[in-house]
Amino acid sequence: MSTHDTSSAAPRSSDGASREAAGVTAVATLSDDAVKRSGASPAAAAPDDAAREPGSPAPANSRTRPGALRKSWAVGLIGLILPVLLVLVWHTFSTNGTFSPVQLPRPSAVLAAGWELLQSGDLWLHVGISTQRVIVGFLIGSGLGLLLGALLGLSPWARAIGSPTIGALRAVPSLAWVPLLLLWVGIGENSKVTLVAIGAFFPVYTTVSAALRHVDRHLIEAARSFGLRGVKLFTTVQLPAVLPSVISGLRLALAQAWLFLVAAELLGSSMGLGFLLTDSQNNGRTDRLLLAIVLLAVLGKLTDALLGVFERWTQRRWSVAGTR
């Protein structure tokens, strides 16, 4: 190769890299615009208030919110109003003779039952094993749902082959899987985690596959014109475009995981909140039964709040990526 050819090859390579980098930036900007048009959260398309430069206008959602809802602590306090009212109604009906103590124990009796289990060490055992089953099953099910949803959402052939079968399996009730899993996997932890994973799989699969099918075709063509293909195209354009749907699917999957957990622990379990429900019913301990229901609600809300933290992190990440 001549000296002239060698010297001209480097600029061409540099031009190619610059072109791809410019393509990523331009397509990320187009992706942000597509997310805005699709009705995604404004926080996903603009930096946080703390990241705005002085003098720049506030995001639209902060301008339209009432003043009391612009502080996170105020939102938390307002959210406590309805639970407090429900506890007051509960206390009223349990003390005015509408329900007997066996039918509806007082809130103080439920707290006493929780303290009794806490002192014996059984409370943390039930909470810990149920939380572990949900987390492991949720990670397995949502991961498989994301992979299979992306495959069927991006490939017409895979969608034509797999969509009818998966749609039919999605209609099977959770309790229908229990005897089959007990027969195939056994009565141990694997069957319970598998059932939770089944519950977490379908919401993620459904939302991801449906969202990827409706990504703006012009956006994908623009990305391909800049040389983006395969994984780079998916992570730079398609995944950010469907990120709100992915988060919604994860939230639904987490709720389904807790539902399927109770179904798994109702049969063949000696630990967990589902077992506490069954054992309390058999022994006539309505106070412990209500305690298990309250704990399931609290744990479900806490895990959903953790997903909210993950959602805000992804919004900041893609916002920063789109401004580079």
Question: Is 80 exceeded by the pLDDT of residue 204?
Answer: yes
Specify the CATH class of 107-323 in words. Answer: mainly alpha
C-alpha span between 310 and 227 (Å, rounded): 30
pLDDT band at 211 (very low <50, low <70, confident <90, very high): confident
pLDDT, tens digit (0-9, with 9 covering 90-100), for 276-314: 998 888 888 999 999 999 999 999 999 998 988 888 888
C-alpha span between 298 and 304 (Å, rounded): 10
**Beta carbons of 245 and 208 less than 8 angstroms apart:** yes
pLDDT band at 45 (very low <50, low <70, confident <90, very high): very low
pLDDT band at 32 (very low <50, low <70, confident <90, very high): low
User: CB-based contacts of 282: which residues, under 8 Å, 6+ apart?
Assistant: none
What tokens appear for 202 in the block?
């379908």
C-alpha span between 324 and 314 (Å, rounded): 16
111 vs 57, residue with greater confidence:
111
pLDDT value at position 63? 52
**Beta carbons of 179 and 228 less than 8 angstroms apart:** no
Q: What is the mean pLDDT of residues 149-167?
A: 87
pLDDT, tens digit (0-9, with 9 covering 90-100), for 212-225: 887 767 777 777 77
pLDDT value at position 116? 93
What tokens appear for 206 in the block?
């459904």
Q: What is the mean pLDDT of residues 111-118?
A: 92
Instruction: Read off the pTM.
Output: 0.74
Ranges of each domain in the chain: 107-323
pLDDT value at position 9? 41
**Beta carbons of 185 and 270 less than 8 angstroms apart:** no
pLDDT value at position 154? 82
Question: Is 70 exceeded by the pLDDT of residue 94?
Answer: yes
User: CB-based contacts of 8: which residues, under 8 Å, 6+ apart?
Assistant: none
What tokens appear for 44 in the block?
């996903």
**Beta carbons of 181 and 191 less than 8 angstroms apart:** yes
- For tokens 């069927």, the residue is 152
C-alpha span between 244 and 308 (Å, rounded): 12
Percent of the chain beyond pLDDT 90?
A: 28
Question: Is 60 exceeded by the pLDDT of residue 5?
Answer: no
Count of alpha carbons within 13 angstroms of residue 137, beta-carbon side:
30
What tokens appear for 153 in the block?
């959402």
Would you call 176 helix, strand, or coil by DSSP? helix
pLDDT value at position 29? 52
What tokens appear for 121 in the block?
């060490």
First to last CA, the chain: 38
C-alpha span between 243 and 153 (Å, rounded): 14
Computed over every residue of the chain, the mean pLDDT equals: 77
pLDDT value at position 229? 66
pLDDT value at position 219? 72
